[in-house]
Amino acid sequence: MSTATSPATQQAYGVERVCAAWDVPRSTYYAHQKPVVTTTPLTGVAPKPVISDDELLDLIRYDLETSPFRGEGHRKVWARLRVRQQARVSRQRILRLMRENHLLSPHRVRQSEGCAHPGHIITDAPNVMWGSDGTRILTVDEGWVWLFTAVEHWNAECVGWHVCKLGNRYAALEAVAMGIKRVFGSTCADVARGLSLRIDHGTQFLADHYLNQVRFWGINPSFAFVEQPQTNGVAERFNRTLKEQAIYGRVFRNVEEVRQAVDTFINLYNAVWQVEKLRFVSPNQARVDHARRAA
């Protein structure tokens, strides 16, 4: 009917006009024009694999035993079986069999048995443990500059800090030296005997010069656990607070502008910052109260 010609206009009626006259959707018309495809119903049974799991597991074990390397993962086993044994199977199937039979690479498995850290790094008295850490701050003229801090674990007080362009082992020691001179009055040998210093595994803190110098002051280096930054959480949290309060949202031209901003914030922080673990008193006030109770 749609291809029929109108006697009045000598033009075909068209699908749109015919469907409108018959009140039939055009989608129904076009659906009836498609050829009917007959499909075989699914039986729900997967085809049987060419290689059984037991045979494939034997191939995997043989490949691992004959390989000149140790600790290889399932991807290399899968690739070698495709080439050497012509075993064209799914990589996920190789992974499943190796996992079920404990054949996966031991290098991908955490060797430690849980977290050995007790979760408590706050001391009950001052000068028992300090924490030190470094961080970088971007400037316009001089690029990245370094900030090193030394923080008292007992009251979260920043006892020392140092801002510089080159963040090496000597610069990292400046923050600790400032704290020792401020708290103990000098930097002579054994002046801080009994104090522990929590540091991470950065190259500055692992240097022989750094470790020998802190031991000269009588300080015992205490390294944070690998991949557990919370074990140096006091210094880490202070650096985050400093950046949130004095660094983020500002543009610094050079290292001197950073030094001025850090100096201003640390003086304000030690004087009036309310520390929740100290029942919302400032670090300076907590030290004054402790000295009054000890007198």
Task: Report the pLDDT value the prediction gives residue 82, as an integer from 0 to 100.
Answer: 86
Q: How confident is the model at residue 159 (pLDDT cuts 50, 70, 90)?
A: very high
Task: Could you list the beta-strand ranges (E) of the chain.
Answer: 129-139, 143-152, 158-164, 196-199, 220-223
- Are 145 and 176 within 8 A, CB to CB? no
**Cα angle, residue 54 at apex, residues 49 and 58 outer, rounded to 5°:** 115
Note whether 200 and 213 are within 8 A (CB): no
Question: Is residue 116 very low, low, confident or very high in pLDDT (cuts 50, 70, 90)?
Answer: low
Say which range, 111-115, 195-199, 251-255, has the weakest mean pLDDT.
111-115
pLDDT band for position 32 (cuts 50, 70, 90): confident
**pLDDT at position 16:** 80
Choose the CATH number for 129-294 among 3.30.420.10, 3.40.50.410, 3.90.190.20, 3.90.380.10. 3.30.420.10
pLDDT in tens, 75-107: 888 988 888 888 889 899 999 999 999 898 776
Is-contact 161 148, C-beta < 8 A? yes
Q: What is the pLDDT of residue 111?
A: 52
Output the CA torsion 172→174→178→181 (10° steps): 110
pLDDT, tens only, 175-215:
999 999 999 999 999 999 999 999 999 999 999 999 999 99
Q: Are 147 and 279 in contact (CB under 8 A)?
A: no
Q: What was the pLDDT predicted at 17?
A: 78
pLDDT at 85: 82
